[in-house]
Structure 1
Amino acid sequence: MTAATFPRAALFDLDGTLLDSAPDMLATANRMRASRDIGPMTLEVLRPHVSKGARAMLAAAFPEMEQGTREALVPEFLTIYQEELGRHSVLFDGVAEMLEALESAGTTWGIVTNKPEYLARDILPQLGWETRCAVLIGGDTLTEKKPHPLPLQVAAERIGIAIADCVYVGDDERDIQASRAAGMPSIAALWGYRQAHEDPAEWGADVIAERPAELLDPALWPSLRHLVGAT
């Protein structure tokens, strides 16, 4: 029997998968609320919406506001968030060790996020990742973003590794939809952000992981070739 190995490449969503950025988002939302004489909201209320993007977080922060009015607040949200970026966020427990294990095994890793690329790129030096992250695709890098497969396809192309030899890890259904559409094996990260009605077991991920520490075990990482061979 061949010993389990890590994939040649691991691609990750950022917010809710590698980085617990909800505290930065909360600081942003509460600065906006304070400027409108509205009291602060709690992390518990905002957290389930973080992976859905700025518009979803604004809807949670200003639920009584008309949608068109909220839409006009997106630039303000992004400007304030850039000021709060990295001030309160932390890596999820086990992420640092997981990335070190991947690197030690010779695995290339990168980030594919729906966050605007300039914001995602700004966080890399704060984490010491500017030379470690082999590829970064943001939500505005290409003409499409997740759940479209193009960001994953381009990420694999840029690092020169076949899609069959990559695995994508994300905490949102769109991550798994993008993976499936690209033909890339996937892992659903249960430690991230999701709303109460969402059931990751229904997303169709190849593997479901409860904690980053589980990904220290190479046997947990799916391989497209193995999956095909098992069918």
Structure 2
Amino acid sequence: MQVHILFLLPMAFLLLPGTQAGEIIGGHEAEPHSRPYMVCLKKQIRDKICSCGGFLVAENFVLTAAHCQGRNITVVLGAHNIRQREPSQQVIPVRRQIPHPQYNRETINNDIMLLQLKKKARLTKAVQLVPLPEEDEEVMPEDVCNVAGWGNTRARGFELPSKLQEVNLKVVEAERCWRYLNFIPTTMLCVGDPREVKKSTFRGDSGGPLVCDGTAQGIVSYGKNDGSPPRVFTSVSAYVPWIKANIRKHQD
């Protein structure tokens, strides 16, 4: 299979032909620090942009997408304006990247990764954990969930926001994602109403969470090059045993 390589900012993502990683389209600025679990992944500590998103699931573990792997990742917690060094921010290098062992760069199956931090985050009003779902917990079609991130905000063109953006998206029937040949209903979610073409994820915020009723149910993964919904998210509930086992295994 031909592999399409998308060079985004300083980071290269390996994706399916005709697909791109997630970004926020048609959203709005989030209330500052209202999503305290949000994490910005940076390739260089002085970067003013995020290579990917992620979310804090333990004091020293971040969950993100496996296609966000890279060298020398540093995470920023407690941020709203990512271009400023806010007093609420905590900048912590990544000690260990733990992608799912069956992650496939061609099919983008098992697109999930844990990042172990070099030290524990200090939990504050601006830095909090987000709960994980129960194993095999289902998200139902028509459920409305939230996605946030610092990715590109334009479906046409390129514009990176300084401040955290968010959008509410509807979970839709798995059949709507059958246009993606490698869509697997048991490990993936189909998200985004095709009738709301200006509300979607697209590129720049891969690895960010789909939060439904306060629980991280999905991870921004991939979709079509034109940014149209629906998009594919990794289903977190399918990987809860793997997540918990690896946190126990690598916990100091």
TM-score range, shorter chain: under 0.3
Which protein shows a greater Rg? 1
Specify which structure has the higher proportion of strand. 2
TM-score, normalised to structure 2, is 0.26
Higher helix fraction: Structure 1 or Structure 2?
1
